[in-house]
Chain A
Amino acid sequence: MTGGLPQCTLTPVSVFILQRAATGLVVIFAMACIVFLGVYAIGNPIDVLINPAADQVIRRETIARYGLDRPLIEQFWVFLSALFTGDFGSSFVFGTPALPLILAKLPATLELAMSAMVIAIVLGIPLGMYAGLRHESVAARVIMSGSILGFSLPTFWVGLMLILVFSVELGWLPSGGRGATVTILGIEWSFLTADGLAHLALPAFNLALFKLSLIIRLARAGMRETWLADYIRFARAKGLSPARVIFVHAFRNILIPIVTVLGLELGSVIAFAVVTETIFSWPGMGKLIIDSIISLDRPVMVTYLMLVVTMFVLINFAVDVAYAALDPRVRETRT
């Protein structure tokens, strides 16, 4: 075609992936700048990193170690390198390095978040698809009303109600804490024990409710729009069984917006876990961050923020790749 120019052999998909990866790195960098500015430039970094109750010796040591009396640019550089080591200081409250502290709680939060996502998907997609297919039926209306209720109810209040009903009044399930755990690969998981499941049930459902409602609505809207589309009518006219039409043709197209939202919502599930963990006394990252916000344990806050941003970026990246796999149009897209 255009003779002379060296032809790059990268496919559009690779370009797409490169772009997303680059964007992700930019996001992390931007967040680092914002956090740095918020903590070091605006706040007094000495107050941030050094426990107000610390004595002079420790103060001098910390100042020297983190170069807090150096020019801002140098401090920024130190901050950036801290990104790679993950060392943002030690918790005021616990006295131990912040990152390992948070990471130790990560499996508990992940377990909760994953359970919530599973519940939301396994219940949400079928319910939503049904509501979309038979949208005039009584069952569909009930589902839809339920879904509005689901995302109107503030998470923390649902948690309280769940405790009230299932723990206090009925006494079926425990009202807080994590159950017995089984250690696999050096990490403790509680969903493998009956006691663990009992403790997991309420908080997971609490966390799942919002997403469940969202997915039901998405699946329903997607189902309705797709069902009206010409290519579905064509498939039905061809005489394909309704089941095949639904699961092979319609499903894929409904899946695309759901995957997008799932990716975004996975991050917010982790954020919302903050509330659920507080109410159910679930020993995860979220409870830690609330406690550290209330006690102004700044190294933990900073570490948590950077950790969360990195996780979000990774999740979004994974979603983008999945998106490209599901939707052929995306691969051909110019940005």
Chain B
Amino acid sequence: MKHLLGIDDLGAEGIGEVLGLAEAFLEVTKRDIPKVPALRGKTVVSMFYEDSTRTRLSFETAAKRLSADTMTFTAGSSAVRKGESLLDTVRTVEAMGIDAIVVRHRSAGVPHRMAGWTQASVVNAGDGWHEHPTQALLDVFTLRLHRGADLAGLRVAIVGDVKHSRVARSNVKALTALGADVTLVGPPTLMPPDLSGWPVRLSNHLDEVLGTMDVYYVLRIQRERIGEALFPTLREYAARYGLTEERLARLADDILIMHPGPTNRGVEIAAAVADDPRSVITEQVANGVAVRMAVLYHLLAGDGRRPPEVLGELEAARA
């Protein structure tokens, strides 16, 4: 596998492989010297056309823990400000000798186009509303640490602004690939216009769904959406779709609460809810580095694609 542009590039089997790697890397990150020489001599460049200190640092840390060298372009950097075309920037960077590009951009499809322009591996760190595959991978990784490797039949509610959420799209793909039962919850205006072909259920009423789910994945609501007449006020949104303390009280002890961060406390999620022991939000963040190490290793170490006989042998040997 050359690129990670979306969850479909992995499929259920690929997800399993990457998460297996992530487990190994999680152990590495807990060592006194949390570093392995696996990607020594490789160069990973971050091209973050959209600001995101957290995700960018997570990727850079992951690359460094694998002993790779890193380069960074951010939204404020001169190349981006001068309006140099994406293609020219990619060509320039490639001429310097790189093995992977980690790219975030506010326009969907940018990683796909870049993949056609370069020999390097391209990792999608978020493209517009489309996908954020490493976020979904670390979310599923976190879920598996709590619920075991088999997520078949796990009932997950994704609550909030699905229409504009790349995290939601990637999670729908990852969770359904692993057999989970996904329900989207939110007002009709915040759902994608046409859900035909999506392997999900839909509800416009959080209270009807409350108590029937194993996992509540809460999405961030953005203030800017009010100007687009997608819902009247944040207050009304919080009242109808927020995971409030009152709603939390109706939930069982063994459910999990997740959020891709950063949270809008008091809007889509109450402060007390985010801090509740059933919330794994901080774990999600902590697992990000190990998962991103796994992705980089999977793409850059070895051809990544193993012949079926090898898989069979290794299965037998592992037994």
Chains A and B come from one and the same complex: no
